[in-house]
Structures are given as C-alpha cells and as structure tokens.
Amino acid sequence: MGAARGSVSRATVVLALVLAAGWLAGCGGSGDDDRGSSPVRSTTTEPTVPARDFSRAGVAVIAHRGASAYAPEHTTAAYTLAVEQGADYLEQDVQLTADGELVVLHDPVLDRTARGPAASCTGPVSEKTVADLTSCDMGSWFNEAHPDLAEATFSSQRLLRLADVLDDYGDEVRYYIEIKAPDEQPGMVDALLEVLAEHGPEADDPVLPPVVVQSFSAEALRQIHERRPELPLVQLIPAVGTAPDGAALDGIAEYAVAIGPAKELVTRELVEAAAERCLDVHPYTVEDSSEMAGLLDLRVGGLFTNSPDVLRRLLPEQPLDTGLCPARATAGS
C-alpha cells in the first residue's frame, strides 16, 4: 500500500524481533509467542514474543473509520480509499451482535448510518443477528449528508464483520481495532481473540505491528494482556476530564504500548511523560493540517484522521527511529 515501509529480509525480521525483546526488557515487558504449527492459534497460551511497540516507526497514519472524510465510514469503499491514500492503519470500531459476531460499526445503534428495513436496520446492534444486518445499506446516509461527495456505488456498501475485513485485506494492511464498551457487552473480549486467532494476519512487520487493539476500558485491555501479552494495546483517554498524570501513566504502562488521548489533551509534557514510560501517543481525531503540524512538532507517534491523504502529505520519508523512550533507546544501542 502507499504507506508500506518496504520489504525486508528474513535476517532483518529476526534482528528486529531480538532488538524489540531487548527494548521491552528495559521497560519490564515479558511474554511468550503462541504462534505454533497449529492452523488455529491459541488465545490462552503464553507467547514468547513481547508486545510490539512503535519505537522503530515514524509517525503512523491511522485512517479513522477508513478514509471517512471521502467515503462512508467503516465500509470497503472507505478502507480501500484509505489504503490508496497511504494509511498505515485501518481503524475498526467493533460491536457485538445478538449471535455473538463482531461487526464493524461505530455507534451502538444502527439509525445514523444504516438504511433498509426498520426491523433489521434500526435500533441496537446488540439486538440483531448477522443475518438481520445483511440487508442494511451502509452508504446512502453518506450521499445524503455529503451530496458533493456522493457516489451511486456507496448505496451498495454493506455492514462488515471484523472477520470479513481481516479476510478481505489479509496481510496487505494493518489493523487498529477498537472494542466499543466491552464492559457493557459481555463476551466481546472472547469474540475478539477468537476472530484474531482464526482470521488475523500471518505476516509480521519489524517496524509496525500488524494488529493493534485499543479501548477506553482498562479492565478489558488488562484481560487481553493476560491472555495475549504479545498483542500491542492502546489505552484511549476521553476528551472529558484531564490528561493522565504520572501515576496513571505508570498503571497504563503495565499493559499498553501507547495512549490514545483526545487531541485537546496533548501537550509536550504529556508526550515526554509518556515516553519516559515507553508509551507512544496517538491523538484522535485530527482533520486540520495546521493542527496536524502542531502535534507532529510535539513528536506524537501517530494520528487518527478521516483524511489520510492530508496527513501523508505532511510527512517526509521517515527513517527508522528509536523514538523518545530512553530505556528502549539505551537497550537497543
């Protein structure tokens, strides 16, 4: 894709993994790899490779719900366009259906973005089965809201299961998955780990992890870390309230590799405090190019944006970088 860092040799991959283990040892990381010869990867065994972080990457371009400034969010149209625009990651918000499937949708109710039979395409997602949702048109709302960007093909966009996205795009893209309100949707963590075990990408990347999981729920992230400690996790920080202090960052660093604060909370002090604890900073959601430039000046490690092309144009070709974290930089030198 447009943001690909290029191909690497097997030796480079091995070296990068060895260095990553050394960096994380300096920050207290641990764990074993569960990727054995079984065709279905376990969701409970101890992995040998610790969670990958972002310390060797430049700024990650995270397509917020895909290229959602130009196409209906969380659809194939938005995801494919984001890849074409050079996104490093495609973001998926996931909700749990009545029959235990993870579908890609931001809102817990269908009414804003779904069109179709009221019985199937309105109301809470949690009350619908995947079969109910197959008739929902997920693109016409965008044409109604943005007539200047409307395309007839958008009306053919359908609601996607997370498994569909992983199967359709495979190893060609990277995934940044948010589990929505897992404390209110029992079984979401189990469902996520099962989907990743059966449909997750097989290829690895020594620079950027292929799958990242984010949530506002610290409890859910801790559960995932206990069962799959090699998965990179990001603690989202809400816009309401204040930025996390040192004690809060210490707690987050026990299970996460980054924080995802609202852009309004980001200061140089926060970025530096996070880096001291080996945490990257990925603010959301940034559309204005001057805001992007200001956050880049603070040395954030990634940005969520509906317009990946705008952010990509601001970024020069970026060399590998050990990031701001002193412990990892020292251990990797």
Running along the chain, 333 residues long, what does each successive block of 10 average in pLDDT?
A: 37 36 38 32 42 81 98 98 98 98 98 98 98 97 98 98 98 97 95 98 88 98 97 97 96 98 98 97 98 96 98 77 50 39
Structure tokens at 273: 């405090």
**Are residues 5 and 205 in contact, defined by beta-carbon separation less than 8 angstroms?**
yes
Helices 188-199 & 162-169 angle (0-180, nearest 10): 20
Nearest partner of 42 among 180, 215, 223, 200, judged by Cα: 200
CA dihedral 205, 70, 188, 200 (to 10 degrees): -30
Active-site residue, selected from the candidate residues 64, 74, 225, 282: 64
Residue 137 β-bridge partners: 115, 158
Supply the pLDDT for residue 63.
98
Catalytic residue among 74, 106, 225, 282: 106
pLDDT at 260: 98
Task: Give residue-wise pLDDT tens across range 1-14.
Answer: 333 333 333 333 33
Tell me whether residue 64 is one of the annotated catalytic residues: yes
pLDDT of amino acid 188: 97
237: which 2 tokens? Answer: 């920080």
Decide if 106 is catalytic: yes
Q: How many of the other CB atoms lie within 10 Å of CB of 244? A: 20
Residue 192 half-sphere exposure toward CB, CA atoms < 13 A:
30
Burial of 190 (0-12, 13-18, 19+ CB in 10 A): middle
Task: Give me the sign of the Cα torsion angle 147, 150, 155, 159.
Answer: negative
* 82: nearest Cα among 307, 283, 304: 307
Non-local CB neighbours of 309 within 8 Å, separated by 6+ positions: 67, 85, 86
User: Looking at residue 57, what is its pLDDT?
Assistant: 76
Q: Is the pTM of this model over 0.75?
A: yes
List, in order, residues 6 or more apart from 211 with CB less than 8 Å away: 174, 175, 177, 196, 200, 201, 231, 232
Sorted by where each begins, the domain ranges of the chain are 10-108+161-331
Please tell me the predicted confidence (pLDDT) of residue 38. Answer: 31
User: How far apart are alpha carbons 91 and 176 in whole angstroms?
Assistant: 5
CB 91 within 8 A of CB 62: yes
Query: Can you tell me the distance from the alpha carbon of 20 to that of 14, in angstroms, rounded to the nearest whole number?
Result: 10
Kindly report the backbone phi and psi dihedral angles of residue 91, in degrees, each rounded to the nearest multiple of 5, phi listed first: -90, 135
Among the CATH numbers 3.20.20.190, 3.90.1150.10, 3.90.550.10, 3.50.30.30, which is that of 10-108+161-331?
A: 3.20.20.190
Task: Report residue 230: phi and psi, to 5°.
Answer: -80, -10
